[in-house]
Structure 1
């Protein structure tokens, strides 16, 4: 991601040339119309995993991106970790969805209230027409509508299933709407009835009004459930995120890995069996086991290390480059010493004084 292939190949070649990256025998670009491909051939006996780990460590074959995750928490900017930023996002979505649901519920109830009045009017259509015909003007007709109660018709059954307050606006005064099996119209309902056109009286239009009212009651029930049930609210948030992912999401260009996969120094060192020697004068080194060979009859033994006069090999251990040696001093102190830190020297080399890794005091 955001890595130039040509520069990456140049960087690998440069590291190999400077001997900062070992184990690679060949490097070539095999990219074609089917995709990008960099071919790296490993020397015989080398560990492909160690070479790959070194490529991750020293080149842009693997990059780490830092994120400055700052968010407003209770109106104040804070630097958050991944878990906290996700929790803050969920809280924000809860607030947004709740506010949106309240707005949609108010809007749906306002529309349902109008449809409720029209449905009641259709249930009492003959009386409504007679009342309007015998009124001197619209104001008188409206006052006469509000002065009496009406048969609720289908509205009574629908509100019994959805809840008596399902379509009731918050600012609606008491004593109006469905009360004790009768329906008391409100001023806005009466005005809508007076403005209703004659074509609404046809059977088809009546069915449309009734069907719209039923659907609105179902919508209102769903909106109320979102506000009253936290689990339903979270499911709405999840569904909306999945829809966004489906519409706008694409394949990841970077990979998320667990923290335990972070590279350690041992991931960059090939595991190898070695022989560690320590001379009487305190010189230490390591040699690969392959440097030793079986002695035939009459043959001459191979020297493990070159020593000065009056010095000799005092200790010898067969270990691995991933091992750690525990060294105990004459005063009872113990130090740990990774084997890979010891110099890899040939049989003619003395090694280096052990005090380079262990801070010994005078006379210790």
Structure 2
């Protein structure tokens, strides 16, 4: 009866129960020992797996941070083929812009647009009303979507493209929360703007979104630049009327806008693709820009990368998949439609050479295109047509 477990002829049901219990305990003990022995190896394997998965996005981020921007110089039109353009309006026009008059001028779109100064009707995607809804998350979302590089791109626009000089009058279209306006205003202040001297220059920031502008006014006051930077509500397609705004979001009455030939430098960061009639906006830029060799038009805009490299494909995937996701998270779901629109607007925007051609057709030939983020961001450096033939 007490024969071993392997004894033939003794059914398992008649074996001593304690031998089975002891065996189970010994087996469990051996398993625990093996688990303890294997734990370091499993942990190391998991760490290697996580590290391998993390290496790809980290490598992409690092490569974007250390990327050397690609610059393409474009041929300029011959002077004989240049149209007369808009004449320089001289000091009289300067006085109009420098007077500080604030006016109206709503974000006029094409069909279905609301009347100037009217808040009736649903906001169009890409309009000031749309940006009013996402203004609370706009700055932080930009930083996440650009991996913190958006300010670097704007600084490049101001420092390398605009080439500000003392006395310059700057027009910053689609100013939003005034990031570019404040950078330009700070540069002009270092050149003497705001010190009360005549002809010291200044910045006029124009945007269709009241809430974005309100936040920009607060930032300007915080930086002590309210004497150099003025923010007004207006339409890039029609700058004949603008409308002032204060830190409480109160709009002033309509008054005269930007005079012809009164602006030295024009900037527009991440806004031209939201304009319903881009050609009309470009013509307005040409109208208000002085016809001088030092005049500049600097447009910073996103586009879908068309390169075949791995990083270009990653950038395309980031725009089409990550941008809408970040927008939804940053706005807690309230801005899903808006950020889906922004993604689609990037997909529809012309490729760099095509947009440069559009600028040239409206009298603003592009001298160079600087590409960042492996073709996802482009800086177009243009000049008035007549001046570009003589500028160096």
TM-score (norm 1): 0.21
Max Rg structure: 1
Q: Which has the higher contact order (CA 8 A, sep 6+)?
A: 2
